[in-house]
Structure 1
């Protein structure tokens, strides 16, 4: 399942050079990833049991206020023992790629704060999403 989220470019997203600040790209990715989890895990899913462990962003082209909005595409590409790997793109409404990213999210044990293996139910739900794409 590739999830797409349209995001308006906000004035506060811009830096002194009047383009979208590089740190804001991470926020855009997070907003789309959060929605991906809601769709993938359904209304009963516990979204607080996952934490971002890694994000790598390749910036391809700048976005400005004139672009008005963008689309973030989020796709699950790998399920590990306790981690999920996502491929993500930030795309202008005109269709060109502004950034490509890879994110790793880890299942977290609430009591210890450490990573934990996926439960059988989580793995089944996540595998269905991966196979469905």
Structure 2
């Protein structure tokens, strides 16, 4: 599945600081790219900006690296919600280079969280409804 086929996309220009001694994007930076896509998508879903829209904590993140990315390239990150549970939800990511090549794929699990009370909370019905509205019949890819 191509990045533009995901429910939401962001573009990220690879900065010099993102690269390592080997000249390509350092593996840890891909998690930052996914974080950018994740936070922008959740803010879009909640129609709010800032920390008020992000009532969640990251419980798990993984990334499969498929090809290197380099300084100056513009990457496209596709993101979608693949599962919603009682208190958590999963997201999937596709990162592509400017030529359409697959650079990386990722997954993450977020837990809805009440920062004032200090504990997890159920996924709000409004969030579930908004995901259904935005994503429609979209089906996540099978990760390899």
Question: TM above 0.5, one fold?
Answer: yes
Question: How many equivalent residue pairs?
Answer: 132
114 and 71 in structure 1: CA distance in 2 versus 1, 3 angstrom threshold: same
96 and 115 in structure 1: CA distance in 2 versus 1, 3 angstrom threshold: same
Q: How does 1:75-114 map to 2 (within 5 A)?
A: 75-114=80-119
Aligned to 2:18: 13
Note if contact 1:8-1:69 (Cα within 8 Å) is conserved in structure 2: yes
Note if contact 1:85-1:102 (Cα within 8 Å) is conserved in structure 2: yes
Moved beyond 4 Å, runs of 4+: none
Task: Give the alignment's TM-score, normalised by structure 1.
Answer: 0.89
Task: Give the alignment's TM-score, normalised by structure 2.
Answer: 0.83
For structure 1, list consecutive stretches of 5 or more residues without a partner in the other structure: none
For structure 2, list consecutive stretches of 5 or more residues without a partner in the other structure: 1-5, 139-144
More helix by share: 1
Aligned to 1:57: 63
Q: Secondary structure of the residue that 2:90 maps to in structure 1?
A: strand
Q: CA RMSD in A?
A: 1.9
